[in-house]
Every structure is written in C-alpha cells, then in structure tokens.
A and B are shown apart, each in its own frame.
Chain A
C-alpha cells in the first residue's frame, strides 16, 4: 500500500492504495462515487469510463499509479440533477435510458470525443462509440441525445 494522490472532479484526495489498484475501485469504493461502474473488468463495455486529462479511459484496466496528478472527471463531475451538464440534459430530454447502467460510459465517451472533435460527422461519432455497450439497446434515443449535444458543441 502507498499514499496515492488523486484529483477527482476538481478535488484532491489522498488514498492509501496498492498502486496497481485499478482506478475504478478507488473511485467507486474509496471515494464512493456512483457514476463509474464495474461492467466487465476487461475494458470491453465502457461502464467504468472516466475522463482523464480530457480523454475517456476505461478505469477498470487503468492502475491508479498511471493517473496520479491528472485531472479525473466522473459522471457526477459534469452536473447535478438540478443543474445537469448540456450532454446530461440532452439525455434527460430525450429520455435516453432504460436501466441506465451504461449511461456513464455512453455520456462520458461521447463528451470526451465531441469536445476534442467538435465537427465530427455522424459516422465518426458512431466509430467513437463502437466499444460501448448498452444491452437495453436504447440506441435510437442515445444517438439523438448525442446529436443534440454535438450540434451545441459545433456552434
């Protein structure tokens, strides 16, 4: 175990962790955050996604030692139910969920990609989401919500 400093949603936390611990467990268990979720533990589904220095990463396969000192943002770091971030609001307005478990990965992956590629085409956005799973298949609405945000970013 060693002292690990993590900057999450703008706040710095000192944690006593095995440096090999995947970031997911630091976020969901040590910090009690509900956004990042264990889906597969293999980096295959996207449920554990966090944004690290502007890039979407799979926190279930990213050791905490690799993200020390970096800016880590989780779904709850974007907005609140009362004041949702525009991409969260787009999902709420489109009612783009069923069970909602995958929303963390869908929203953060789309946001990180669009913030870096504001002029991305529809097929480029699809490509960016090709490693994210929604098993309720709420794809139609999710695509509409992402397009709604994409239009706002492109302006």
Chain B
C-alpha cells in the first residue's frame, strides 16, 4: 500500500463491526488514527470532495486554505501554505491557512502518525483541491477572455494570455469571494516538482517572529471575558477512588468559586490561577488506597506471563526447521521502558460551556473527536460543541492535551463560565498516556557463509487507554475519573495473517514480509515469523513519537548489529546484503557516505579497556515499511570510568519523497535525532508500589539545552517522482540502536535495555572485565 493510499485509509469508515481490529491496532501500540478512527467525516464537517471546503478566494485575490492537519511545531503549516501557493500560482504571503476548527475545516481525523505529508501532498485533499481550483480558474478565464485554456498561463494570482500580457484577469475578478462549486477532480494535474517555485523551497515559518518576540498566542494565552481558572486534584495513587471531599476546607480561601466533584474527578475553580493552585493544594479529599503496582525491577520479564491478545504479522511456517538446520543461531532480548511525552509546558485548555452550547480551545490532535467525546461528557449534542485548535507546547503524540480539555469542559459546565485549566507538572507527568513499555525477543539463524536464513521476532507490550477517538473518553484519565471505561481488552490467540501489515515496524526490515502470494517487506530473509502479545498496562498508554516503531526498531537494528558482529561483517555491508528496497538502501548509503564510513566489523580494534574510547554505530529504518526513511551513523565517546556516553557527531540520511521544505525537513531530522538521543540515554518512567515517581524534571531525565550538542549533518534525499511520505518520526526511530551499536563498537559490550544510563554501561563493563 502506498503512503497516500494508507492516508486515504484513514478516511474510511472502519468502525462498523471492526471491534476486533480496534483492539488489535491499539494493542500493537500503533497509531490507531490510521485505522481505528479512519472513519467518514463527522456530520457537519465540510464535504471532503468539494474544493470550497479547502480553498476560498476573496474579492481582493487573497486565498484562504482550510486544512484538517494542524501545526504542532513540526512545520507542516508552512509546507501546506507553500503547497496551496504553488498549486494556485499565488505568492506564499497571499495564502492564509486555517486548520482544525470544527466550524470551518475539513475533518481529517487526527494530526498524527506521520500522516499529514502523505494525506495532503499527494493525490487528494488539499493538494488536489489546489490543482482542481487552478484548472477551474483557467476554464473561467478562458470563457471570460475568450481564449482557449492552452493559451493561458497563471502567475501571481493573475491569468493572462501567453504572448499578450495585456489580456488578463485576476482570481479576485473571476471568483470575487463567491464559491467555486467544483468537485475535487482526481485527474486535475498537479504541478511537477521540476516547475515548483514555492513548494520545495526553504521558506521560513510565518509564526517564527511572533514566537521569538512573545506575541504568539498559545492555548495557554487564550483569555476570554469573565474567564476563571481551574485546577484538578488527581488521585494520590493509581486506582484510588474518592471517599469524600471536604468543600469547607477551602471555602474561606480568597477567590475560590467552586469545588467540583464528579465521581472520582475533583477540581477547584477560582478567580485567579494562583488561588486555584493554592485551593487545590489545601482541599481535603479522602481517597481509598490504590490498587497497587507491579515491581518495576521485575516488570519486563513478568510481561511473558500475562494474559495476552496475540497478533501474528508474518509466518512462513518453516522457521523452526530453518533454525534447526542453521550453522549458527543467535537469540537476544531487548527491553524498552515506558517513556513520557513530557511536554515542556504542561497541558492547558480553555472551555466556555453555557447552557446547551460549548466553545472549547484545545491543543488536541483531533478536534473532531474532542467535539464528539466532549459532547458525551457534557451531555450536549455534538453539533452544539465547537472545538478550536490552539497550539500547546510540543506534544509528540498523546500528551495531556485531551485530558485537560475534558478538565476545562467539566469545570466550565459546573460554574457556567469560561474556565482555563493548566495541569501541574506532576499531574501532567503522573497521568499522561505514556509510550508503551516493551520486551522483545529476537532470534535468527545464519548459514555457513554468515547470511541470515531465518528471523523470528516475538514481542510483549502492555497498553491501557489511547486517543479518545469518536466515542471513548475513558481512554484518558479524566474520562475514566468521571466513569467512562477505556477501550476493552480481550485476550485471544493470534489469527493467521490474511494481508500484509508492517504494523509499526513489527516486521523487521530484513525479512521478505510474505503474506498470501506476495512479498511486501523490504528485506530478503524468507523464513520469518513475527508474533506480538498485547497485554494490559497498569498505566495509561498512547502514541508517543514513533510509537512501537521506535521500540521495534531498537530491537531489530541492535540485533542486526549483533548478527553482523557474530560473523565479523561490516554492519553497513551486512545490512545492505539483506535489503532489497532501494529507498532504505538509499538513506543508509547516504548516511554512510557522508560519514566516510570505513568498512570493518565491530568492535573497533585496539580500544583500551579504561578511560575514554570512541566508536561508531549505524541504524536504518523504513518507517512502517514505506512511510519515510532514515539511515544514521553516530560517532560517540564512552567514558569507561564514569559510564557516560557522549554522542559527538551524527550523519542523517532522510527521504520523505519530494521535499516540500528542505529547512523544515532538516529541522525535523535534527530535532528527532536529538530527542531520540535523550530518550535513549536517560528517559524512563519510574514508579513505586502505589504511584508514578517520575513527576518532574529532576525525576524524569531529559537532556537540557546545556549539554554538548553533537555536530549533525543531514543528507536530504529528494525523490520528486515518489509519493510524499512521513518525515517527522524517522530520525528519532533509529537513535537508540545507533547509540547502542556505537557503545558496542567502542567497548565490545552490548546493552539491550533503554535507557543506556551510565550505571548500565558501567555494569556491562564490569561484566566484560
């Protein structure tokens, strides 16, 4: 399936009778938006097949574009503005982009899963609306000027006759603020990349100056007349329930307006934020004991014994025999912890619920599902709930955005006035939907020449909740506190796969991916088996940048390095030997070339066993098999006395199809790589018997700005004739394995558990001797 076709799949109604699929996708840790919530647009949304839903041309010739894919900081709004300017032949500055407002924009489900670039830059949606509009304008001009379309050209919002520029008409004159009334034409011609003058250029972000000067309005800055401030009081332990709330404990505090209790949801509304915070601190709430948490030290191995819902992705049915006949069999187990989105600004929303109507300003990735689930929790009709996206701090997936939106809505409804809620740091970190933890077994057989002849991947991952989707507010903590259930978990045995699904890189890049009568994987290994066990998590989970893809890739790419080392092969050459997909080969080769990769096996010969040593590591990914590609080489230093790992240089090869904005792509590649480095080296959710204990920046370890930043060289691989793919989640996906592989290269020790902390490095070095 092509990236565009998969993005289109997002649109289809999967919900009817698709319960099993929902659980399957969720439990795989995948981004459910692509399948589970890929339903038809909600009633009331502008029709997807009408150009007017996407583009409006005013009498003065200015263009307004409407998109269902929002700006989260990833730069997609700039690229979308470029796309519309390009297809319509108008200057970039003349295009205004409005995104994710349920009263104005098309329903494009979530902005997630690296789906914005494929959805809006290929053969449908915004891109095709632009192309259709241009053709419609040319036809209108042809009639008005009485000249055939072939003799017309469009530039700067003016259509003129070729060779006689005095004969012309502007878009404003042609349309004049009226509707185009044209259906999206699948055959309208997109401009070829070779003719681009706006798209493909490194245009700076229009929001940059406002952000740098403190003028930009984040959701945190939304201020409505008469607005009050809310603060929530979350349970002190996982599973704790409200016994009683002593409203009298805060009633004399200045500014306190109301204490709101709804089942296990408790909140305070006050006139000012500081008053609300103090009241929430002081409010006496009696809670039941928590339900208890499993021991963290034993958590990963305990996964193997849990009831599970199993999903099989590929099975050639011959791996046991092939492994039995192999010259060498290797097996390794990899562990990845729960990690947080950890947005730098805790989540915030503003809701104004008045009678039977609500207006909600939210940083959610899915305004349409906030509309339907917001209506559920408020007991209102969905058509009376208006949700407007306002940017929050970078979310990287399902942070506290949806839950805080419910918080604000519940509190606003209780007081009948607009209420702004911003979560405390602890409330954000203790209750967000974490990126899933994983335990992954990899097993492979090699022939006498050292080639891989069989590969088995078996993984265990616990999940609970997810994005709320159209009707599951219980998938995030606030929904659960007011009595909704998270999506159901049903254990069950794996079915035989009927069609190929890479499923969040569950399938390694090096296997054939053979299902039915076709091989759709990117690799050569024919004897293959991939089995995933989905379990119930004690914590909320949900998509975190490169969900499941990152953890699976850590295992695959570390294991590939182990195999190469076992047969003393060069790690790049060994990868290339087992790949046939030219795009993943392309990014891997680009990174290796930029790094001046020296062909040799790991570990590096001659490194001392004490002091600081250097090493290099490589990893690559075809994100979800075909939705974006990155190859990376890193150079690191390992201090063998302190166990500290410092990444010194990186070379990133990245391919997202035709490059829409090279500077934006580079920004995503750099940021993803460094975020991946922080997650690989330090980030881990921790807990005790009752509660999460990583609840601030002292207990959850993100790399700050003050570390020595590695030198990063990005090689942008442009593929103007391919489909646009995802771009923002590929470099982060390969970092952990690349660093782990470099540690092995430098020291000869293999680390198989993230994060790669100094303690773990030292422990491994001690065992090495």
Contact = CB atoms under 8 A, between A and B. Distances in A.
B344 A47 contact: yes
A37 interface: yes
Nearest to A20: B274
Nearest to A146: B705
A36 B712 CA distance: 31
Nearest to A32: B223
B205 A95 contact: yes
Given A37-B218, A45-B344, A81-B213, A140 B674 contact: yes
**Most B CB atoms within 10 A — which of A21, A34, A36, A143?**
A34
Interface string B192-204: 0000000000001
B696 A40 contact: yes
A18 B273 CA distance: 12
B310 interface: no
A98 B425 contact: no
A98 B75 contact: yes
Contact of A107 (B212, B343, B672, B678): B212
Interface string A44-67: 110100000000000000000000
B491 to A, nearest CB: 36
Given A32-B223, A88-B213, A95 B393 contact: no
B391 to A, nearest CB: 7
Contacts of B712: 140
B43 to A, nearest CB: 32
B241 interface: no
Contact of B705 (A44, A95, A97, A129): A129
A145 to B, nearest CB: 9
Interface stretch (B5-13, B146-154, B663-671): B663-671
A52 to B, nearest CB: 16
A29 B212 CA distance: 20
B345 A47 contact: yes
A40 to B, nearest CB: 4
A124 to B, nearest CB: 10
A92 interface: yes
Nearest to A99: B73
Interface string A7-49: 0000000000010011001001100111111111110110100
A39 B667 CA distance: 23
A119 B480 CA distance: 55
Given A95-B205, A128-B706, A135 B394 contact: yes
Interface residues of A, number: 63
A91 B218 CA distance: 19
**Most B CB atoms within 10 A — which of A128, A138, A141?**
A138
B212 A88 contact: yes
Contacts of A38: 220, 345-346, 422
Interface in B72-90: 72-75
A136 B345 contact: no
Contacts of A84: 209, 212-213
Given A32-B223, A38-B345, A130-B706, A74 B678 contact: no
B458 to A, nearest CB: 32
Nearest to B703: A137
A70 interface: no
B663 A100 contact: no
Contacts of B211: 97, 100, 103
A96 to B, nearest CB: 8
A25 B272 CA distance: 8
B709 A33 contact: no
Contacts of A150: none
B214 interface: yes
B345 A92 contact: no
A151 interface: no
B218 A135 contact: no
**Most A CB atoms within 10 A — which of B208, B216, B229, B698?**
B208
A135 B704 contact: no
Nearest to A126: B706
A85 B482 CA distance: 48
A116 interface: no
Contacts of A102: 344, 393
B709 A140 contact: yes
B678 to A, nearest CB: 7
Contacts of A135: 342-344, 393-394, 396, 675, 702
B77 to A, nearest CB: 12
Contact of A76 (B73, B213, B670, B705): B213
A143 B704 CA distance: 12
B689 interface: no
A44 B698 contact: yes
A133 B213 contact: no
Interface in B219-271: 220-221, 223, 229, 254
Contacts, number: 187
A18 B215 contact: no
**Most B CB atoms within 10 A — which of A36, A91, A140?**
A140
A155 to B, nearest CB: 22
Given A25-B274, A133-B344, A101 B218 contact: yes
Nearest to B344: A135
A32 B273 CA distance: 13
Interface string B636-663: 0000000000000000000000000001
A35 B561 CA distance: 47
B759 interface: no
B705 A106 contact: yes
Contacts of B272: 25, 29
B207 interface: yes
B346 A92 contact: no
A92 B212 contact: yes
Interface string B684-717: 0000000000001110001111111100100000
Nearest to B424: A41
A114 interface: no
A25 B605 CA distance: 58
A121 interface: no
A80 B671 contact: no
A39 B346 contact: yes
A126 B420 CA distance: 36
B613 to A, nearest CB: 22
B301 interface: no
Nearest to B670: A140
Nearest to B71: A99
B396 A139 contact: no
A6 interface: no
A137 B735 CA distance: 14
Contacts of B696: 40, 42, 44
22 contacts: A18-B254, A36-B214, A39-B425, A41-B277, A47-B344, A81-B213, A85-B213, A92-B209, A95-B208, A97-B208, A98-B667, A99-B391, A99-B394, A101-B218, A126-B706, A130-B705, A132-B706, A133-B704, A135-B394, A135-B675, A140-B670, A141-B667
Interface of B: 72-75, 204-205, 207-218, 220-221, 223, 229, 254, 272-274, 277, 342-346, 391-394, 396, 422, 424-425, 663, 667, 670-675, 677-678, 696-698, 702-709, 712
